[in-house]
Each structure stands twice: as structure tokens, then as C-alpha cells.
Amino acid sequence: MKYPKNQYDILLKAFVCVIVRKGYTVDQVREDYKYRCHPMKLGWDLFRMANAGLSGYHDCCDTVKSYVPYPPGINDTHLRTAIKRILKDIGLWWEKGGEA
């Protein structure tokens, strides 16, 4: 993965923070969404909320001054790979048919 490790770690913590601050657990989110949409749809939604929080535009997670959504040399493909890995790491990636 080309996405910088330090930015990945910030984003992973922010995804979990968004879920918790919205009053859910990872297990609840998985059960609610696994038959409704592809996990990348959920991933991009979580990214948008985490990005807003990390950038200081929303209170869904803490602002982190060192956070950069697109570090130099990173594009949407790299970001997509990082989001997919985060979803796998926190247990929100499922394959076709809803199996986690």
C-alpha cells in the first residue's frame, strides 16, 4: 500500500471514532449495512465524515493537524486501497452475499 502509514493510522482511528460518536458499534454497522450496500459505499461515506472531522469541519471525530487526505503522490486509487484495508482491519469488509 502506497498510502503513508502515519496517515493510514490517523484515518483508521477516525473511522472508528465516527462510528462510536454516532452511537454505534462496528458490529451494529456491519449488521445494518452488509445487505444494503457494497462495503466501499460505506467506506467512502465513513471517509467523508472522518475527513470532515479530521479537518475541523465536523465534530464526528477529533481534528488532527497533521492529517492530509491526499499526501503528495497519492490519488483516489491509493486512497481506495487504504479505505478497503481499514474496512478489513476493523471488520467492516464483507464479500458478496453479506458474509463478513
Q: What is the pLDDT of residues 6-50, one digit of tens each?
A: 999 999 999 999 999 999 999 999 999 888 889 999 999 999 999
What pLDDT does residue 96 have?
64
C-alpha grid cell for residue 72? 503528495
For the chain, percent helix, then strand, then coil, each to nearest 5?
55, 0, 45
Eight-state DSSP code of residue 98 = S
What pLDDT does residue 17 have?
97
pTM above 0.75, yes or no: yes
What pLDDT does residue 97 have?
54
C-alpha grid cell for residue 77? 486509487
Burial 71-94 (b: 16+ CB within 10 A, else e): eeebeeebbeebbebbbeebebbb
Share the mean pLDDT of the chain: 92
